[in-house]
Amino acid sequence: MYSEYLAKCYVARLLRPDRCDNFMWITWSAFGTTVWSDLMSVERVRKAVLGEYERALGVDDSADAESKISNDLCADVANRLWIIVLSERQEKHLVLTAEHQGLIRRHIAEEAAKSG
């Protein structure tokens, strides 16, 4: 699923770069521990796009896919990747409560009213 996600990040950055500041993969189970240092690499993004070349690039042939992949775009995606591994304990203590969300919304509304 992670490789498919990387290919989708590539396409998203290609089509809507204005909406793609960061890409966050959040998981509750560590994965790829033997290749951890490679999970956010340019080469990993490139391999993921090649693995999904029909959907990601709109081509029918893997040879065509090779020539269509932008190394600069792969590097851009790799630089924007985050992998966050959570435990149930972290999730419990790091998630905003409804009360805190209300305070933040109120603050945003008050700031908008001041400037508008």
Query: CA-CA distances (angstroms) from residue 25 to 3, 78, 84?
Result: 11, 12, 6
What percentage of the chain exceeds 70 in pLDDT? 100
Co-location of 62 and 20 in the same domain:
yes
Q: pTM for this structure? A: 0.77
Co-location of 24 and 78 in the same domain:
yes
Give the count of domains, the chain. Answer: 2
Say if residue 116's pLDDT is above 80. Answer: no
**The pair of three-digit structure tokens given for residue 49, joined into one six-digit string:** 């796009």
| Residue 107 lies in domain | 88-116
Co-location of 9 and 21 in the same domain:
yes
Co-location of 19 and 71 in the same domain:
yes
Q: Note the pLDDT of residue 75.
A: 98
Give the mean pLDDT of the chain.
91
**First vs last Cα of the chain: how many Å apart?**
44
Co-location of 64 and 75 in the same domain:
yes
Co-location of 61 and 112 in the same domain:
no
Co-location of 38 and 77 in the same domain:
yes
Co-location of 12 and 69 in the same domain:
yes
CA–CA dist 58, 39 (Å, integer): 24
Confidence of residue 60 (pLDDT cuts 50, 70, 90): confident
